[in-house]
């Protein structure tokens, strides 16, 4: 019990924020998160047991299992974390029972598993039992790939941690709570939208609730390799980085080994557990045409981690993006994390990734924008293997509470978690801190700080945001955002021909920009329902969408600084903002594929376009 109290007080931030990176004990605050450990990188390479499968689950719309009728938090023994059973002793009043509850699949969203949960926003309780055999000299963690949005995690009758944020991983050390034999983990998941949240209450994608990514029981040595960075130097003459140990014996000998390159680099971690290295090397560079990955082994006196890592450089020069010192055009597509088949729920894992990314390759893409939040790790790693460059983004979307310190801290921790997870992926070339945000002084300061944080955590990639275009007059378009002072590229969304005029307007406009940087258009396009045909002037027909793409391509070719494009979007996806009966039916129809994977006419127009590299 003392260990549980310590965990509850060991990690705190301001109300409503993620505190996954807070390691030192700090005083508590009402409703602050607690019990979370610093992120363990590359969980896939660790000793682990999957807790995926069918979990017992039931709906608790009024949060009866957490608060009393005065809306006060209840003692642990009275909450549903106590895991009491009505059938165990029917002389006692118990109004819930996990043993006889129905089940939900984990990983998975609840919206597409039960009809009554299709539009549900609120609390669902989950329980999974597992066997454990803790060993002396090891530490045990519960790892969640993601749970949307607030997750309170309990173990063996007591809450041990709370996390906010629906798209980033978190882990909880349970070394002192896990017991030999049977254990029960209970998770209260709440996907209610919050004004102070990231994202906030207003967005244009489905608010899938649930434990949406993998759950593992992870075992590591007492002192283990928690994080590492292995990168190609900017001059491409060496491999450099660092290793971070975590545990009671941090000052250990450490080694980096890349057998294929003949690298066997010894180093010694300091008292904080950190060891830095720089070793001369000339690796074959990773590229979309040849996505070379090397087997990398990092070992200490007590631990070993293996990874597959590619080496490349990314930079800008004037209006060009240079990959490995050579100009590249990023022909891309935007993607939402949805299953590539009905019922279009939350995607997860390599099988979904290979289908979605395979469709992107069929379009002739070398680049994908993973919008509007960090996608699952398998999506990023599979894209790396398939030779697809990646734009990684956090859900600072539309109208965040710019002046709320808790909202900023939440956003910063989501950015930090994304960068820690993906920093060794060669294909990730852009960290994006926002999408379509209004030009306000408070917003500028908010995003400026996020950009600075991204550069602090990783100086090897470009940093930007999806901004908005302006109409200087009927024929002149620009991006005149103060944020351009801080970003590496001019990246923005534009819908000429859909929200701005008709398709023929593309012929009449010209673009001008206030700074000399590469231009990447992060969204363009329009909607069409697969199989709906008509004149090219009729909205939502395949003919309209196709003609719009033809006209947009002509407009793009006249932008001299254009270095990339990621139209909106790969496939039709669910959105509660799309009401038109018989056409939208809760789907944003801007996909080049339907939600069933059917190709629309515009697919072929975009596939056949070979961009001009200016």
pTM attached to this predicted model: 0.93
The DSSP annotation for 377-423 comes to HHHHHHHHHHT-EEEEE---BSS--TT-HHHHHHHHHHHHHHHHHHT
pLDDT in tens, 136-163: 999 999 999 999 999 999 999 999 999 9
Residue 196's CATH number: 2.60.120.260
How many CA atoms lie less than 13 Å away from 197 in the CB half-sphere? Answer: 21
pLDDT in tens, 210-252: 999 999 999 999 999 999 999 999 999 999 999 999 999 999 9
- 318 in a domain, yes or no? no
- 319 in a domain, yes or no? no
Residues 211 and 300 in one domain: no
Distance CA 161, CA 360 (A): 38
Residues 91 and 151 in one domain: yes
Residue 92 pLDDT grade (very low, low, confident, very high; cuts 50, 70, 90):
confident
| Per-residue model confidence (pLDDT) at position 614 | 77
pLDDT exceeds cutoff 60 at 7: no
pLDDT average, residue stretch 68-88: 92
Residues 288 and 415 in one domain: no
Residue 367's CATH number: 3.20.20.80
pLDDT exceeds cutoff 60 at 22: no
- 612 in a domain, yes or no? no
Residues 70 and 180 in one domain: yes
Proportion of the chain above pLDDT 70, given as a percent: 95
**Three-state DSSP state, 155:** strand
| Per-residue model confidence (pLDDT) at position 390 | 98
pLDDT in tens, 245-280: 999 999 999 999 999 999 999 999 999 999 999 999
Residues 201 and 235 in one domain: no
pLDDT exceeds cutoff 80 at 8: no
- 207 in a domain, yes or no? yes
Tally of domains within the chain: 3
pLDDT exceeds cutoff 80 at 590: yes
pLDDT exceeds cutoff 70 at 1: no
Residues 471 and 576 in one domain: yes
Q: Measuring CA to CA, which residue among 116, 336, 60, 341 is closest to residue 206?
A: 336
Domain residues for the domain of 265 are 224-312
Query: How would you classify the pairing of strands 158-164 and 215-221?
Result: unpaired
Q: Which of 312, 341, 367 is the last residue of a domain?
A: 312
| Per-residue model confidence (pLDDT) at position 32 | 66
| Per-residue model confidence (pLDDT) at position 125 | 98
Query: Exposure pattern of 151-169 as b/e (b: 16+ CB <10 Å)?
Result: bbbbbbbbbbbbbbbbbbb
- 558 in a domain, yes or no? yes
pLDDT average, residue stretch 412-427: 97
Q: Measuring CA to CA, which residue among 324, 156, 302, 300 is closest to residue 235?
A: 324
pLDDT in tens, 332-364: 999 999 999 999 999 999 999 999 999 999 999
Residue 30 pLDDT grade (very low, low, confident, very high; cuts 50, 70, 90):
very low
Distance CA 270, CA 249 (A): 10
Residues 270 and 134 in one domain: no
Residue 254's CATH number: 2.60.40.10
- Using CA atoms of 189, 595, 115, 580 in order, give the dihedral in degrees to the nearest 10: 110
Residues 211 and 228 in one domain: no
Q: What is the mean pLDDT of the chain?
A: 94
- 613 in a domain, yes or no? no
pLDDT exceeds cutoff 50 at 13: no
Residue 612 pLDDT grade (very low, low, confident, very high; cuts 50, 70, 90):
confident
Residues 63 and 118 in one domain: yes
Residue 20 pLDDT grade (very low, low, confident, very high; cuts 50, 70, 90):
very low
Q: Which of 221, 243, 267 is the last residue of a domain?
A: 221
Query: Exposure pattern of 209-225 as b/e (b: 16+ CB <10 Å)?
Result: bbbbbbbbbbbbbebbb
pLDDT in tens, 305-314: 999 999 999 9
pLDDT in tens, 519-533: 999 999 999 999 999
Residues 308 and 345 in one domain: no
Q: Measuring CA to CA, which residue among 437, 592, 604 is closest to residue 526?
A: 592
pLDDT exceeds cutoff 80 at 10: no
Q: Which of 182, 206, 221 is the last residue of a domain?
A: 221
The DSSP annotation for 230-245 comes to EEE-TTSSEEEEEEEE
pLDDT in tens, 94-122: 999 999 999 999 999 999 999 999 999 99
Residues 386 and 263 in one domain: no
H/E run at residue 321: strand 320-323
Residues 350 and 486 in one domain: yes
């Amino acid at each position: 019990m003392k260990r549980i109290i310590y965990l509850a007080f060991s990690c705190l931030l301001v109300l409503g924020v993620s505190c996954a990176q807070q390691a030192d004990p700090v005083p508590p605050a009402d409703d602050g998160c607690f019990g979370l450990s610093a992120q363990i990188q590359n969980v896939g390479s660790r000793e682990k047991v999957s807790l995926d499968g069918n979990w017992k689950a039931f709906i608790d719309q009024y949060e009866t299992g957490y608060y009393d009728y005065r809306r006060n938090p209840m003692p642990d023994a009275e909450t549903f974390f106590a895991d009491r059973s009505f059938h165990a002793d029917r002389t006692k009043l118990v109004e819930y029972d996990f043993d006889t509850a129905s089940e939900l699949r984990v990983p998975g969203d609840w919206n597409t598993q039960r009809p009554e949960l299709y539009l549900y926003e609120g609390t669902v309780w989950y329980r999974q039992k597992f066997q454990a055999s803790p060993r002396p000299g090891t530490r045990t963690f519960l790892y969640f790939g993601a749970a949307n949005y607030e997750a309170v995690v309990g173990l063996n009758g007591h809450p041990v941690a709370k996390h906010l944020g629906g798209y980033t991983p978190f882990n909880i050390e349970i070394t002192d709570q896990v017991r030999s034999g049977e254990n029960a983990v209970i998770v209260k998941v709440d996907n209610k939208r919050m004004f102070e949240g990231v994202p906030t209450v207003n967005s244009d994608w489905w608010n899938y609730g649930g434990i949406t990514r993998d759950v593992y029981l992870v075992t590591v040595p007492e002192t283990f390799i928690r994080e590492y960075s292995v990168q190609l130097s900017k001059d491409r003459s060496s491999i450099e980085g660092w290793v971070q140990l975590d545990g009671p014996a941090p000052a250990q000998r450490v080694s980096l080994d890349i057998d294929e390159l003949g690298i066997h680099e010894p180093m010694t971690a300091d008292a904080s557990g950190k060891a830095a290295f720089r070793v001369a090397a000339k690796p074959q560079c990773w590229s979309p045409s040849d996505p070379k990955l090397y087997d990398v082994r990092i070992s200490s006196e007590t631990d070993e981690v293996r990874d597959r890592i590619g080496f490349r450089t990314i930079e800008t020069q004037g209006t060009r993006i240079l990959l490995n010192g050579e100009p590249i055009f990023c022909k891309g597509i935007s993607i939402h994390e949805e299953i590539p088949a009905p019922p279009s729920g939350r995607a997860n894992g390599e099988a979904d990734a290979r289908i979605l990314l395979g469709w992107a390759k069929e379009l002739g893409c070398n680049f994908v924008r993973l919008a509007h939040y960090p996608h699952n790790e398998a999506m990023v790693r599979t894209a790396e293997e398939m030779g697809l460059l990646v734009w990684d983004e956090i859900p600072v979307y539309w109208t965040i509470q710019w002046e709320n310190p808790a909202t900023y801290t939440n956003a910063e921790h989501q950015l930090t978690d994304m960068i820690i997870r993906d920093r060794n992926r060669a294909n990730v070339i852009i960290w994006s801190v926002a999408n379509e945000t209004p030009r306000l002084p408070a917003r500028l300061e908010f995003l400026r700080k996020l950009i600075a944080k991204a550069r602090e955590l990783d100086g090897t990639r470009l940093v930007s945001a999806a901004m908005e275009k302006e109409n200087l007059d009927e024929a002149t378009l620009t991006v005149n955002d103060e944020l351009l002072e801080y970003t590496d590229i001019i990246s923005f969304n534009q819908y000429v021909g859909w929200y701005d005029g008709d398709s023929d307007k593309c012929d009449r406009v010209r673009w001008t920009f206030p700074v000399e940087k590469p231009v990447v258009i992060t969204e363009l396009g329009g909607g069409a329902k697969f199989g709906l045909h008509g004149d090219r002037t009729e909205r939502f027909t395949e003919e309209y969408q196709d003609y719009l793409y033809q006209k947009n391509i002509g407009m793009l070719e006249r932008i001299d600084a254009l270095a990339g494009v990621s139209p909106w979007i790969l496939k039709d996806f669910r959105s509660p903002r799309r009401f038109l009966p018989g056409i939208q039916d809760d789907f944003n129809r801007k996909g080049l594929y339907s939600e069933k994977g059917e190709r629309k006419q515009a697919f072929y127009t975009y596939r056949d376009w070979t961009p001009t590299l200016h």
